Structure 1
Amino acid sequence: MNQGLTIKLLGLALVIVSALFLTSCTEEPKNQLESVQQQGYIKVYTRISPTTMYVGEEGFSGFEYDLVKLFADELGVRVQIVTENDIAKILREVSSGRADFAAAGLTVTKQREEYLRFGPPYQEITSKLVYKQGNDRPRDFSQVDKNLTVVANSSHSEELLNAQQDYPNLSWTERSDLTPQDLLDGVLDGTFDYTIVDSNELQLARQVQPELAVAFSISEPEPLAWAFPKGTDNSLYIKAIEFFSKIRGDGTLAYLTERYYGHLSKFDYVGNREFLRAIEDKLDKYRPYFYEAAANDLDWRLLAAMGYQESHWEPHARSPTGVRGLMMLTLNTAKQLGVKNRLDAEQSILGGADYLRLVKEKIPDRIEEPDRTWFALAAYNVGFGHLEDARRLAEGDGANPDKWLDVKEYLPLLRQKKWYSRTRYGYARGDEPVKYVNNIRMYYQVLKQVAEPKAGGSELVDPETESMQEGEEIGDNGQDEENILGTDEALAETESDKSQDDTEK
């Protein structure tokens, strides 16, 4: 190669390098949002917990999980979820920028706000000091003189440090290797005398562990929010603010809250104990009938929850209105379904399941689960015509007639002449189906925790959540305008139906 050619090639190379250098200098760096969208996923830290994320029978689920997936859908990206129960590590990873944010049921505290910034609050909790029912109840921290253990680096640690200023002798142990549920289990088995957990976690736990008792609250209501790293790049943070504004405005946040917590009411220690005892003493006797009745389209545990609500699983139960049997069928309904003896447990359960299917078929197809089932249960209790009346009232008032969250507020109005005078089917004790559905949901959730599903059976699943399970990466520590309300026909039992008696033995 001659010298002239070499010089020309070197010159050309220099021009190319210079051009690339100038291009790189003039190209503005991408912000966090653009980087996330370019890489195609967001990296999120969370904890395994009933209130955040867990692996259920149908895959990943949980309040925080659903929120994160909806946010990812808004961004048009996938989710890389890293599960970690060490709160300190979660906070470090986020503050260092090694994660986009944390969605882990984190309480907003002054200390954390020094090195993190929090998105809009989506839930409020209080911190509760928990002890075992039957033991001495402390009234304040001066009486907490035994083993108090909390999750390390939690908001409860900060609260205890603040309390120590007024109670100098207060002491406690912090454990990074245990989850809130581990600590609650430890209180029940005697490993710990006391622990502190968030009120939402305690509410869910007490469904199956009613001996968990509240000594006192150690905080005022506190907000939960996503945690983001501090910095000058606000792009993803602003997008999260917009997202929460949107889901709060369109009702999605309220819907999710109702879905996960709507069945929880004031804690009934005696009622919960009785239900758990009935599971141990009675359920196995009727389980084969619930299995048979469920077939492949219903969850046997939902039918069992209905049966307990109706009769406490008593096959000879009867009411003054004439309904009888384990599933408390009226005489007319039993005849319609071919049930010859309502006091026969198997016939009653099979008839109850078939009646639920009949009612469910009346629900407009556009209504998805789980609202479809809640509507069917309400109609099973109060009659389809009265349910439709409530849905019309909701629609006329600007509420959504296809969401149980909205319609359950209008059913009780059927007791008031101002409202029922505007309906087709008139007066109804509309508060009763609301309580009915609420109780069944509670029993169902308990049964899902303590009883296995039927092989090849069906579980009640929200299709939106089900579809959201495509594309996530999990790391370990790593509405037809026609027929808005559906049919006008009533699958309702009239008062005259309910007053009929029969000669079943």
Structure 2
Amino acid sequence: MKKALILLSSIAILLLFGVQCTFIEKNFGSLSKKETYILDLPGIQNRGFIRAAVDNNSTGYYIYRGRRMGYEYELLRDLAKRLNVQLHLVMVSDIDRAFDYLKEGKVDLIAMNLEKSSERSDNTSFSHPLGKMNTVLVGNENSGKITSWEHLSSDTIYVREGAVYKNQLCHLKDSLQLNYTIITTPEHEEILIDKVAEGEIKWTIADQNIAQANATYYGGLDISWKVQKEGDVSWVVRENSPKLLSSLNTWLEDKQKRFIPDLYAKYFLTPKNSYFRSNSPFSSLAGNQISVYDEIIKDGAEQLGWDWRLLASLVYKESRFDTVATSYAGAKGLLQLMPVTLERFGVENPNDPSESLMGGVRYLRYLDKFWMERVPDTSERLKFVLASYNIGHGHVEDAWRLTLKYGKNTQSWASVSEFLELKSDPDYYRDPIVKSGFAKGHLAVNYVKDVMSVFESYKALVEP
């Protein structure tokens, strides 16, 4: 007890007078940094979301006709559902940087097909394998048919920086005493394959799955020469996240029989579909369009003062860009307005994309005006508007009143959303200040999260 009092007194004195390197930093490290770094599964679940490093490519993560797609993306979405958390994606094309982000606590998981190596195992843990992968040499019809490594002579091979390819080629070069040159580049395998197909470079190395998918687009590619036999590929977490690793491995075991093979077939064994998804103007990989209605969405967003990709996210959430979509409750059009709202905001033909979208825009402007005085901050008010659009502003106003009654911050969506979720609890929805009664408020809170999540994806993958 005496020692504890002395320690606490010492810390208080040091905090009071300050030094360049404080006692706390010296003995316990920077608390804010360490707090992020040591986050394991309970901390991730308490935070409410998991951050995963992914690649932006035709098999990892991309946007197609407004929909988020990709092998790793769909796997991660299912994992996040299992862990009962939201999914936040961090796009990292540099593999070494992905490991830096993991060790610094900027991501909780690297969701790339990675082979285990001694260099990569420092302070990290590899999951059970997701599958096996071959590495192949990629050339074009002018590169010449390879039947032995000696045929490369003194050629140059371009490889992605941070991948295992350089080590594989160096080992072959040394053991067989070959003369080829290896050049590393931050460009992704798919970009390098494009350059091979177009004759800019002669050779590159890629995982066989990526090479096969891209060979569909380019008939003249030769991907028959294997660099290395099949090896296990896994995802990676920090070494000090054992509970996350355990849950990840359990999930992988459960999904290996059907879910993972089905996804693998979708992205790697259906080359025609992969080709159209990757080369469509509505793909973030080849174009910059989200939907055929981008122009009217941009006009509507300008009237709202919104980023057009945010309004596109709301349209995607409501109707998936289907002009004739009708909900079970009778909501219609791109922004799924109810009949009474259609009439109030001047929409005569809800199946007309321009008319229905502008009706929704007028409704959103009304909601923005409703909340403007109570929530002056634009970014915070946006979430009130989205929740009101989903559940009705009466229910959100009830939550605002409860927030005021209990002395919380009425200008903060984080505070008000807590009371909106409580509107299914009779202790709260029977409160005399509640005017609109019972509501499944948690659905509206999740709705806001979903729209904002799609918006973050659109911002990352589609230009303004």
TM-score, normalization: structure 2?
0.52
Deviations 1:188-232 (Å, cap 9, x if unpaired)? 22221100001110111111112111251011112221111223x
Match of residue 121, structure 2, among 108, 113, 116: 113
- Equivalent residue number for residue 188 of structure 1: 197
Change (3 A) 1:135 1:171: closer
Written as runs of structure 1 = structure 2, the 5 A alignment for 1:64-143 is 64-143=72-151
- Secondary structure in 2 aligned to 1:74? helix
- Equivalent residue number for residue 213 of structure 1: 222
The residue type equivalent to 1:175 in the other structure is: T
Q: Is the 8 A contact 1:78 1:471 kept in 2?
A: no
Q: Is the 8 A contact 2:136 2:224 kept in 1?
A: yes
Measured after TM superposition, the shift of residue 160 of structure 1 is 1.5
Written as runs of structure 1 = structure 2, the 5 A alignment for 1:327-342 is none
Which whole-Å CA distance do the structure 2 matches of 1:61 and 1:217 have between them? 29
The residue type equivalent to 2:275 in the other structure is: V
- Equivalent residue number for residue 231 of structure 2: 222
Change (3 A) 1:116 1:210: farther
- Equivalent residue number for residue 53 of structure 1: 61
Match of residue 268, structure 2, among 250, 261, 265: 261
Unaligned runs of 5+ in 2: 1-8, 13-34, 283-290, 294-320, 323-446
- Equivalent residue number for residue 36 of structure 1: 44
- Secondary structure in 2 aligned to 1:113? coil
Change (3 A) 1:157 1:135: closer
Match of residue 247, structure 1, among 248, 255, 268: 255
Change (3 A) 1:51 1:99: same
The residue type equivalent to 1:224 in the other structure is: V
Which whole-Å CA distance do the structure 1 matches of 2:460 and 2:95 have between them? 14
Q: Is the 8 A contact 1:125 1:200 kept in 2?
A: yes
Q: Is the 8 A contact 1:121 1:224 kept in 2?
A: yes
Which whole-Å CA distance do the structure 2 matches of 1:94 and 1:244 have between them? 20
Q: Is the 8 A contact 1:31 1:235 kept in 2?
A: no
Q: Is the 8 A contact 1:60 1:469 kept in 2?
A: no
The residue type equivalent to 2:203 in the other structure is: Y
RMSD across aligned positions (CA):
3.1
- Secondary structure in 1 aligned to 2:176? coil
- Secondary structure in 2 aligned to 1:209? coil
Which whole-Å CA distance do the structure 1 matches of 2:451 and 2:234 have between them? 25
The residue type equivalent to 2:226 in the other structure is: S
The residue type equivalent to 1:167 in the other structure is: L
Written as runs of structure 1 = structure 2, the 5 A alignment for 1:167-186 is 167-168=176-177, 169-176=179-186, 178-186=187-195
- Secondary structure in 1 aligned to 2:252? helix
Which whole-Å CA distance do the structure 2 matches of 1:89 and 1:229 have between them? 14
Measured after TM superposition, the shift of residue 452 of structure 1 is 5.0
Q: Is the 8 A contact 2:211 2:223 kept in 1?
A: no
Measured after TM superposition, the shift of residue 102 of structure 1 is 0.5
Deviations 1:32-53 (Å, cap 9, x if unpaired)? 1111011111111111111211
Deviations 1:250-276 (Å, cap 9, x if unpaired)? x22222222223425xxxxxxxxxxxx
Which whole-Å CA distance do the structure 2 matches of 1:255 and 1:100 have between them? 26
Match of residue 446, structure 1, among 270, 275, 285: 275
Written as runs of structure 1 = structure 2, the 5 A alignment for 1:139-154 is 139-144=147-152, 145-154=154-163
- Equivalent residue number for residue 201 of structure 1: 210
Deviations 1:331-358 (Å, cap 9, x if unpaired)? xxxxxxxxxxxxxxxxxxxxxxxxxxxx
Written as runs of structure 1 = structure 2, the 5 A alignment for 1:335-374 is none
Change (3 A) 1:76 1:113: same
Change (3 A) 1:158 1:190: same
Measured after TM superposition, the shift of residue 110 of structure 1 is 4.2
Which whole-Å CA distance do the structure 2 matches of 1:48 and 1:123 have between them? 20
Which whole-Å CA distance do the structure 1 matches of 2:74 and 2:191 have between them? 24
Q: Is the 8 A contact 2:158 2:192 kept in 1?
A: yes
Which whole-Å CA distance do the structure 2 matches of 1:158 and 1:241 have between them? 28
Q: Is the 8 A contact 2:157 2:180 kept in 1?
A: no
- Secondary structure in 1 aligned to 2:53? strand
Deviations 1:297-346 (Å, cap 9, x if unpaired)? xxxxxxxxxxxxxxxxxxxxxxxxxxxxxxxxxxxxxxxxxxxxxxxxxx
Change (3 A) 1:170 1:147: closer
- Equivalent residue number for residue 289 of structure 1: none
- Equivalent residue number for residue 332 of structure 2: none
Change (3 A) 1:452 1:191: closer
More divergent stretch after superposition (157-166 vs 147-156): 157-166
Which whole-Å CA distance do the structure 1 matches of 2:72 and 2:119 have between them? 23
The residue type equivalent to 1:173 in the other structure is: I
The residue type equivalent to 1:192 in the other structure is: I
Q: Is the 8 A contact 2:267 2:274 kept in 1?
A: no
Q: Is the 8 A contact 2:126 2:234 kept in 1?
A: yes
Which whole-Å CA distance do the structure 2 matches of 1:32 and 1:117 have between them? 13
Which whole-Å CA distance do the structure 2 matches of 1:120 and 1:469 have between them? 30
Q: Is the 8 A contact 1:128 1:217 kept in 2?
A: yes
Which whole-Å CA distance do the structure 2 matches of 1:476 and 1:58 have between them? 13
Larger radius of gyration: 1
Which whole-Å CA distance do the structure 2 matches of 1:471 and 1:118 have between them? 31
Q: Is the 8 A contact 2:55 2:91 kept in 1?
A: yes
Q: Is the 8 A contact 2:155 2:180 kept in 1?
A: no
Q: Between the two proteins, what is the percent identity of the paired residues?
A: 16
Unaligned runs of 5+ in 1: 1-13, 18-28, 265-441, 459-466, 478-505
Which whole-Å CA distance do the structure 2 matches of 1:471 and 1:76 have between them? 18
- Secondary structure in 1 aligned to 2:112? coil
Q: Is the 8 A contact 1:131 1:215 kept in 2?
A: no
Deviations 1:386-415 (Å, cap 9, x if unpaired)? xxxxxxxxxxxxxxxxxxxxxxxxxxxxxx
Change (3 A) 1:89 1:470: same
Q: Is the 8 A contact 1:51 1:201 kept in 2?
A: yes
Measured after TM superposition, the shift of residue 455 of structure 1 is 4.1
Change (3 A) 1:114 1:448: closer
Q: Is the 8 A contact 2:139 2:221 kept in 1?
A: yes
Q: Is the 8 A contact 2:51 2:88 kept in 1?
A: yes
